[in-house]
Structure 1
Amino acid sequence: MKSLRCCWILLLLITVSLLLWYNHITQKGEAVLGLRAYVRISPRFRSSSQQYLALHCARCAVVSSSGQVLGSRRGREIDSHECVIRMNAAPTQGFEADVGNKTTVRVVAHSSVRRLLHREAFFFNQEANTQYVVWGPERNMRQDGKGRVFNMLVKLTMKYPGARIYAVSREKMKQCDRVFQNETGKNRMKSGAFLSTGFFTMIFALDVCDSINVYGMTDGSYCSLTNSSSVPYHYYESNRLDECGMYRVHERVQRGGHRFITEKQIYRRWASQGKLKFQYPAW
């Protein structure tokens, strides 16, 4: 009987040790992924000779594309940061007083790549020092010749050899899904949601920045307030659907929507850890 009890105790110790080891390896793997999650696209892209993003910033400004930035007069403050991270093809010209004009990185959705192409001379000549981080589903970003968006980006690098364009790896895309599920308890795909460019931008900023100041992003409760003002979804598209209207539509749709309000609730929890601060509007 005593021998059997010892065997059970030994088995329990081994099981616990294995669980601790697995958890350590998993966490270590997530950490090691780091900037290797952002793979440079080049005319001679080869999986065996991949180059990865090399960027570290002490202070970052993340600038939302929301109409909330209009009238902020924070442009000079934004440009004072070591790195300024913008989303998609959001323009700075004509909005410098509110959003600044410095751009270190643009985090771009697969669906917004065509907007870069429409103004490619500006983005890859005038903003030649900007780095681009492009995210998208496997069907668009696959690297076997069948990824439509990936192929566009390869052609861009042929035309502009100095362009620094990086693809978010498949492993990183899966990691972002896990983050969403860990934070919400919901499987991203089963819930019918697509992560937003804002979500990928926040994840990216957490990867490369020591401290992050966010401009133009409201918290998750803003649109439920009776005194919430009507602002454009994008600061550069004043005649489109207002921001809260867009958020409500996406939050309620069963399939294919971004969960903007849910994501902002996640950001609030991240902000409580001290690395992330919402400067305008202040949270």
Structure 2
Amino acid sequence: MSILRISPVKRLVKSQFRWLCLLSLSLTLLLWIGHMVKRNTFHVPLHNRGLSGYARISESRKDQVLDIYCDRCALVSSSGQMLGSGAGEEIDTNECVIRMNNAPTVGYETDVGGRTSVRVVSHTSRNMRQDGKGRVFNALLKIAKKYPEAKLYAVTSEKIQYCDNVFQNETGKNRMKTGAFLSTGFFTMILALDMCDSINVYGMIDNNYCSRANHSVVPYHYYESKRINECRMYKVHENTKRGGHRFITEKAIYAKWATRHKMEFYHPSWKL
């Protein structure tokens, strides 16, 4: 299940749920979204129906519609490609900035910017079950209660099935039969297509990048310099029989989408 967090975050908020970091869940909380909406930070179209497939995590179960729309979005990858890019100022000029998982901005502002509008956290686990036994979901519900101005959303099972169908339509392969899980990037790209008129993608390599002899060797995450390098990680996952992400296949799908939508890729640029 993927979790969306909508935020004008400039700093991390500390709370009693610090252990969530161990589950790759960012503790960036969304305390000022109401203030941002009042100042028209986000564009809301006249039909104002909201985006389907994103359910609000709240005690009352009301106001579940995700109604953020943006003319121009920056989708910022967590890739080591961002190191030395100097793209931070450019990223922050976009109307909305979308980030993934627990990728930090503090200390990396020059390359990745400092603004965050939406953070997508992917966590597929029975810990997200909503029958009172899901530890992660229960913790998020407590956070929503403690910070009522925060807006946290979970991707619905119908939306996850939709994403599986998209993967199969684009590749001709059943996602579950391939033994793969869709990546956080895939869910994030789907969200960006839903909420953005145009998308500027930063730090994402194309599906042929790692097969080029002169490709740059960078860390998988820009904030984990001593971990496995990006291309090695992609190749391992692409060839894993069960439990991996099909990163390279997903990038080929994005290349198709870029021919049909307003989508540009930077650092590195893509030749479509």
TM above 0.5, one fold?
A: yes
**Counterpart mapping for 1:125-164 below 5 A:** 136=124, 139-164=126-151
Q: Which runs of 5+ in 1 are unaligned?
A: 1-32, 111-135
**2-side partners of 1:146 and 1:63: how far apart?**
33
**Does 1:89 find its partner at 2:102?**
yes
- Out of 169, 175, 183, the position equivalent to 2:162 is 175
- Out of 191, 200, 212, the position equivalent to 2:199 is 212
**Does 1:68 find its partner at 2:81?**
yes
For residue 36 of structure 1, report the CA deviation from its aligned partner: 2.5
Give RMSD over aligned pairs.
1.6
**Does 1:101 find its partner at 2:114?**
yes
User: Which moves more between the two structures, 170-179 or 50-59?
Assistant: 50-59
For residue 50 of structure 1, report the CA deviation from its aligned partner: 5.0
Match in the other structure for 2:252: 265
The structure-2 alpha-carbon separation of the partners of 1:99 and 1:36, relative to structure 1 and needing over 3 Å to count, comes to same
The structure-2 alpha-carbon separation of the partners of 1:53 and 1:34, relative to structure 1 and needing over 3 Å to count, comes to closer
Matched residue of 1:251: which SS?
A: helix
Check conservation: 2:50, 2:65, Cα contact below 8 A: no
For residue 222 of structure 1, report the CA deviation from its aligned partner: 0.5
**2-side partners of 1:277 and 1:151: how far apart?**
38
TM-score (norm 2): 0.79
**Counterpart mapping for 1:3-18 below 5 A:** none
Check conservation: 1:34, 1:207, Cα contact below 8 A: no
For residue 93 of structure 1, report the CA deviation from its aligned partner: 0.8
Match in the other structure for 2:177: 190
Matched residue of 1:165: which SS?
A: strand
For residue 161 of structure 1, report the CA deviation from its aligned partner: 2.0
Match in the other structure for 1:36: 52
Identity of aligned residues (%): 67
Match in the other structure for 2:24: none
Check conservation: 2:57, 2:152, Cα contact below 8 A: yes
Instruction: Spell out, residue by residue over 1:211-238, the C-alpha distance to the aligned partner (whole angstroms, 9 max, x if none).
Output: 0000000100011111112100000000
For residue 266 of structure 1, report the CA deviation from its aligned partner: 0.3
1:39 corresponds to which letter in structure 2?
Answer: A
For residue 45 of structure 1, report the CA deviation from its aligned partner: 4.2
Match in the other structure for 1:236: 223
For residue 149 of structure 1, report the CA deviation from its aligned partner: 2.0
**2-side partners of 1:65 and 1:250: how far apart?**
17
For residue 142 of structure 1, report the CA deviation from its aligned partner: 2.5
Check conservation: 2:72, 2:196, Cα contact below 8 A: yes
**1-side partners of 2:127 and 2:210: how far apart?**
33
- Out of 219, 222, 233, the position equivalent to 2:209 is 222
- Structure with higher Rg: it is 1
